[in-house]
Amino acid sequence: MIAVENVYFTYPIGIEALKGVSLTIEDGEFIAIMGQNGAGKTTLIKHFNGLLKPTRGDILVDGVNTKKTSVAKLAQTVGFVFQNPDTQLFCETVEDEVAFALKNFGFKKATIEKRIVWALNLLGLTEYRKTSPFMLSGGERKRVALASVLAWNPKVVVLDEPTIGQDYQQKEKLRQFIIQLNTQGKTVVIVTHDVEFVADCNPRVILMSEGKIVGDDVGKKIFADFNLLTQASIVPPQITKVFMELRDFGFPPDVVDLYEAREILQRRLNKT
Amino acid sequence: MSVFDGLRFRRVASPVHILDPRIKFFYVCSIFVVAILFPEILPLIVLFLLQIPFVLIARVQKEWIRSLRGATFLAAIIFGSNIVFRFIYAGYTLILPDLEFALAMTLRFVVLVEAFSVFFLTTSPDHLGLALEQSRVPYEFCFAFTTAVRFVPVLADEAETIMDAQKARGLELEKGNFLKRIRNYIPILIPLIISAIRRSLELAEAMESRAWGAIEKRTNLYVLKMKAGDYLLIAISVSILILGIYLRLHAFIPSLSDLLL
Q: Is residue B252 part of a domain?
A: no
Q: Which of A213-233 are b and which e, b meaning 16 or more Cβ less than 10 Å from the residue's Cβ?
A: bbbbeebbebbbbeebbebbe
Whether residue B191 lies within 8 A of chain A, CB to CB, comes out as yes
- Residues B100 and B16 reside in one and the same domain: yes
State which residue of chain A sits closest to B173, comparing Cα positions: A72
| Mean pLDDT for the stretch of residues A243-260 | 86
Pick the CATH number of A1-70+187-233 from 3.40.50.300, 3.30.750.210, 3.40.190.10, 3.90.550.10: 3.40.50.300
What pLDDT is recorded for position A233? 87
Cα separation of A85 and A137, whole Å? 11
* Contact call for residues A217 and A235 (beta carbons, < 8 A): no
The C-alpha of B249 sits at a distance from chain A's nearest C-alpha, in angstroms, of: 46
Q: Which residues pair with A34 in a beta bridge?
A: A207
Cβ-based contacts of A149 with chain B (< 8 Å): 168-169
If asked whether residues B30 and B139 sit together in one domain, one would say no
Residues B110 and B75 occupy one common structural domain: yes
For residues B119 and B140, membership in a common domain is answered with no
> Which of B1, B169, B188 should be substituted to probe chain A, the one whose Cβ sees the most A Cβ atoms within 10 Å?
B169
The CA distance from B60 to the nearest CA of chain A, in Å, is: 14
Across the interface, do A149 and B165 touch by the CB < 8 Å criterion?
Answer: no
> What's the gap in Å between the CA of B149 and the closest CA on chain A?
20
Which of A117, A158, A165, A160 lies closest to A137 in space, CA to CA?
A165
A82/B165 touch (CB, cutoff 8 Å), yes or no:
yes
> In this structure, are B9 and B110 located in the same domain?
yes
Strands A156-160 and A78-81: parallel
User: Hey, how many other C-beta atoms are within 10 angstroms of the C-beta on A64?
Assistant: 14
Give yes or no: residues B98 and B3 share one domain: yes
Question: Domain for residue B230, yes or no?
Answer: no
B242 occurs within a structural domain: no
Domain with B49, as residue range(s), is: 1-123
Contact status, residue B60 vs residue B10, Cβ threshold 8 Å: yes
**Predicted TM-score (pTM) of this structure:** 0.75
With CB atoms and an 8 Å threshold, state whether A75 touches B165.
no
Residue to mutate among A11, A88, A115, with most B CBs inside 10 A, is: A88
Contact B195 A86 (CB under 8 A): yes
Which of helix, strand or coil describes residue A194? coil
Phi/psi of residue B138, nearest 5 degrees: -55, 140
Cβ pair A104:B186 closer than 8 A: no
Whether residue B197 lies inside any domain: the answer is yes
Query: Is residue B13 left, alpha or beta, with left meaning phi > 0 and alpha meaning psi from -120 to 50?
Result: beta
Give the model confidence (pLDDT) of A22-72 as tens digits. Answer: 999 999 999 999 998 889 999 999 999 999 999 999 999 999 999 999 999
Residues 6+ apart with CB under 8 A from A193: A34, A161
Question: Beta strand pairing status for A30-35 and A204-209?
Answer: parallel
Alpha-carbon distance of B156 to A169, in angstroms, equals: 35
Chain A residue set in contact with B, beta carbons under 8 Å: 13, 46, 49, 51, 70-72, 75-76, 79-80, 82, 84, 86-90, 100-101, 104-105, 134, 148-149, 152
The minimum CA-CA distance between A36 and chain B, rounded to whole Å, is 20
Q: Are A63 and A8 in contact (CB under 8 A)?
A: no
Tell me the average pLDDT across A84-103.
93
Separation in Å, CA A99 to CA A128, A141, A177, B163, B177? 14, 15, 21, 18, 22
Q: State the nearest Cα–Cα gap between B147 and chain A, in angstroms.
A: 22
Residue A158: strand, helix, or coil: strand
Judge if B76 and B182 occupy the same domain. Answer: no
Indicate if B72 and B14 belong to the same structural domain. yes
- Name residue A213's beta-bridge partners: A208
User: Left, alpha or beta for A261 (phi > 0: left; psi -120 to 50: alpha)?
Assistant: alpha
Cα A117 to Cα A129: distance, rounded to the nearest angstrom? 9
Domain count, chain B: 2
- Kindly state whether residue B175 falls inside one of the protein's structural domains: yes
- B168 and A100 within 8 Å at the Cβ level: the answer is no
Distance from CA of A79 to the nearest CA of B (A): 7
Could you list the pLDDT tens digit for every one of the 261 residues in chain B? 444 555 567 777 788 888 888 899 899 999 999 999 988 888 899 999 988 998 888 888 888 888 888 888 889 999 999 888 888 887 777 778 888 888 999 999 999 988 888 888 888 877 888 888 888 888 888 888 888 877 888 888 899 999 999 999 999 888 888 888 888 889 999 999 999 999 999 999 999 999 888 887 778 787 778 888 899 999 999 999 999 999 989 888 887 777 776
Looking at residue B93, its pLDDT comes to 75
Report B:197-216 residues touching A (Cβ under 8 A). 198
**A84: chain B residues, CB-CB within 8 Å:** 161
> Quick check: B168 contacting A, CB < 8 Å?
yes
User: What is the C-alpha to C-alpha distance for residues B257 and A48, in angstroms, rounded to an integer?
Assistant: 55
Q: Give the domain-ending residue among B123, B145, B179.
A: B123
pLDDT tens per residue across span A170-199:
888 899 999 999 999 999 999 998 898 998
CA A165 to chain centre: 15
Contacts of B164 in chain A (CB under 8 A): 46, 51, 82
Q: Which of A46, A51, A72 sits opposite B170 (nearest CB)?
A: A72
8 Å CB contact between A165 and A134: no
* One domain for residues B110 and B180: no
Instruction: Read off the amino acid at residue A241.
Output: K
The domain boundary, picked from B123, B156, B177, lies at: B123
CB A264 within 8 A of CB A66: no
For residue A100, the chain B residue with the least C-alpha distance is B169
Question: Alpha-carbon distance A114 to A116, whole Å?
Answer: 6
* Same domain as B95, residue B133: no
Q: Is the pLDDT of residue A81 over 50?
A: yes
For helices B139-167 and B186-209, angle between their N-to-C axes, nearest 10 degrees:
140
Contact B162 A79 (CB under 8 A): no
B189 part of a folded domain: yes
From the CB of residue A168, how many other CB atoms can be counted at a distance below 10 Å? 9
- Nearest chain A residue (CA) to B157: A87
Q: Looking at CA atoms only, how far is residue B128 from chain A in angstroms?
A: 25
Q: Which residues pair with A25 in a beta bridge?
A: A2
Question: B138: burial class by Cβ within 10 Å (0-12, 13-18, 19+)?
Answer: exposed
Q: Please report the beta strands in chain A, taking only residues with DSSP state E, as ranges in sequence order.
A: 2-10, 16-25, 30-35, 56-61, 64-65, 78-81, 156-160, 187-191, 204-209, 212-218
CB-CB under 8 Å, B190 with A90: yes
* Cα(A50)–Cα(A58) distance, integer angstroms: 11
- Within 8 A of B166 by CB-CB distance, chain A residues are 88
Q: Identify whether the C-beta of residue A189 lies closer than 8 Å to the C-beta of residue A160.
A: no
Amino acid present at B165: A
- Would the CB atoms of B165 and A46 count as touching at under 8 Å? no
Q: What is the ipTM of this complex?
A: 0.88
Residue B115 lies in a domain: yes
Question: Do B96 and B139 sit in the same domain of this protein?
Answer: no
A82 and B190 in contact by Cβ < 8 A? no
Q: Residue A6: how many CA atoms within 13 Å on its side-chain side?
A: 2
Q: What is the pLDDT of residues A102-127, one digit of tens each?
A: 999 999 999 999 999 999 999 989 99
Are B143 and B119 in a shared domain?
no
A70:B172 CB<8 A: yes
Domain ranges of chain A: 1-70+187-233, 237-272
Cα–Cα dist B11/B224, whole Å: 18
* Mean pLDDT estimate for chain A: 91
Strand partners, A32: A190, A205
Q: Which residues contact B138 (CB under 8 A, 6 or more apart)?
A: none
Buried b (16+ CB within 10 A) or exposed e, B185-215: eebbebbbeebeeeeeeeeeeeeeeeeeeee
